[in-house]
Amino acid sequence: MLKLNRRTLMTGVATAALATVLTGAPMRAIAEEPVRGGTLSVHMPQEQRTLNPALRASTGVYVIASKIMEPLMDLDEQGALVPMLATSWEGSEDGLTYTFKLREGVKWHDGTPFTSADVQFTAMELWKKYQNYGTALHANLVSVETPDDHTAVFTYSRPMPADLLFGAIPDLGYISPRHIYEGTDILANPANVAPIGTGPFKFDQYERGQYVIAVRNEDYWRAGFPYLDRIIWRFISDKAAAAAALESGQVHMSNYSSLSLADMDRLSKDDRFEVSARGNTRQPFQNTVEFNNRRENLKDVRVRRAIIHALDTDFFIENFLYGNGNRAQGPIPKASDKFFKEGRVDYEYDVDKANALLDEAGFERGGDGTRFELTMHVPPFGEDIPLWATFVQQSLDAVGIKVRILNVDAATYLKEVYGEWNFDLSTGWHIFRADPAISTMVWYRSGSPDGTAFTNQWGWTDPKADEMIDAAASELDTEKRRAMYPDIVDRLNTELPIWMAIDRSFMSTTSEKVRNHHNNPRWPSSHWADVWVVE
């Protein structure tokens, strides 16, 4: 069990000890025989409006829905691709065609056979039209042909790099049942909150504000799995209450840094729990400062730069995050050894420069020292987010910008920031999913459908940036593609439509009663078929 001190709480990573085989079937633990039966209880800090990852790629959706629905491929403990609903895959040399062979004998939870028609419908009608990251990833997807029930052939109008497509599928490749969605209002379909999947657990019950329950799929295609009888996700918004529930045994785990920093620090010293970044390495995240570039003051890049110069981010990390995290250098976190490069355009703490930029932009102080006022929307995703918002508020007051904080629930945040653009500033988490073209550049490239969560809804358009982003997303040579991103980052940091401020690692807090957990790099968002609980 990994023990972390105050300084290393948010960045320590342990190596997963257990494996899955290339068939996708989990292996048994070497040191301990699995226990069948039982219930795993999981803390959830807030509710989402959908439980369908084919429509919304989000950790809050994955934690629940990835046990019920499945992607074409997932990851093993080393981060290598393993088959799930697809058993094999290959691409053409020109990057325009990709062929997936699909698993036979798989049934949807209502007994209907899974076929290539489900893949075709999901890709063209959900991913391409509505999924927050899929709309960009599959912008050039022309068709999905189904020559037989277990073959799906994807055709693109521009080259699709294999490493990009296959790297995205564990997060963006979840399949929905065509027979449930076809001919319906997809976004309003009841299955979005009562999902029907092919996974190891079947949706059972959703009591708003209280819990979601899934039960064992007795007809699961992986014989002998899952081990658990049931999973209960309990909605507990109060962090102190969530920590108390863990300590009393009412819940077994809390994922994605959903406890308070103090409680994670305290529980890391308790032998009954593991507090670790293990199983989260696929998804480093960043705290953000998001600007509504439609506002008269914020559309001036000098104002945006001044705001970032006014933030002593290193002080915040040391004094509010227990010293765990790093000041970011823009959209690609330092944890990405394949794409991050030092020396990018940066914004060090400099109050004098911030004041000079605001003066230059024509926003002089009034008689009370105020230049202008802003509102900041703050979601309830983690304790660090409201702390960061308060720090931004206090920092900007020093340069004459008054900030009013609006703490809102997740649904209101998504609606007002992404749906109605009714905000000045906002903050939250940007999650980096292995490749900047998967879930990062969509925060900057224009053209995402209005209202699509976690995309460029900032009222900012840069044709040159769009051109650079598109060129990198269609470059088939892996090394050439990676070499294109430093210039893209420099342009995005210079224009500064938003700012990725702090590089972080998600933490999970897990009871010792849970076995074989966090055994792949995206484990909280994975299937949990091979997890068991001992009493």
Q: What distance in Å separates the CA atoms of residue 216 and residue 210, rounded to the nearest whole number?
A: 20
> Residue 126 domain-assigned?
no
- The verdict on residue 386 lying in a domain is yes
The token pair that represents 211 in the structure block? 């819990």
Q: pLDDT under 70 in the chain at which residues?
A: 1-31
Alpha helices in 398-435 (DSSP H): 410-413
Question: What are the tokens at 200?
Answer: 């190891």
Domain assignment of residue 400, yes or no? yes
Residue pLDDT, tens place only, 220-276: 999 999 999 999 999 999 999 999 999 999 999 999 999 998 999 999 999 999 999
Alpha helix (H) ranges present in 361-419? Answer: 384-397, 410-413
Q: Provide the pLDDT for residue 278.
A: 94
At 5 the pLDDT is 31
Predicted pLDDT of residue 30:
43
Residue 130 placed within a domain: no
Please, what's the b/e burial string for 132-145 (b: 16 or more CB within 10 A of its CB; e: otherwise)?
A: bbbbbbbbbbeebe
Does residue 290 lie in a domain region?
Answer: yes
3-state secondary structure of 285: strand
Whether 250 is covered by a domain: the verdict is: no
Instruction: Give the CATH number for residue 437.
Output: 3.10.105.10
Is residue 262 one of the residues assigned to a domain? no
Q: Is residue 263 part of a domain?
A: no
What's the count of helices (H) and strands (E) in the chain, helices before strands? Answer: 15, 22
Measured distance CA(306)–CA(182) in Å, rounded: 49
Contact residues for 480 (Cβ-Cβ < 8 A; gap 6+): none
Please give the residue range of the domain that contains residue 438: 285-504
Q: How much of the chain exceeds pLDDT 90, in percent? A: 84
Residue 439: predicted pLDDT: 87
- The pairing of strands 508-511 and 401-407 is unpaired
Q: Going by C-beta distance under 8 Å and a sequence separation of 6 or more, which residues neighbour residue 320?
A: 261, 384, 387, 388, 391
What's 35's DSSP letter? P
Q: 3-class DSSP state for residue 352?
A: helix
Mean pLDDT of the chain: 92
In Å, what is the CA distance from 51 to each residue of 73, 162, 218?
19, 28, 22
Tell me how far apart the alpha carbons of residues 372 and 349 are, in angstroms, rounded to a whole number.
21
Number of domains in the chain: 1
The per-residue pLDDT for 31 is 63
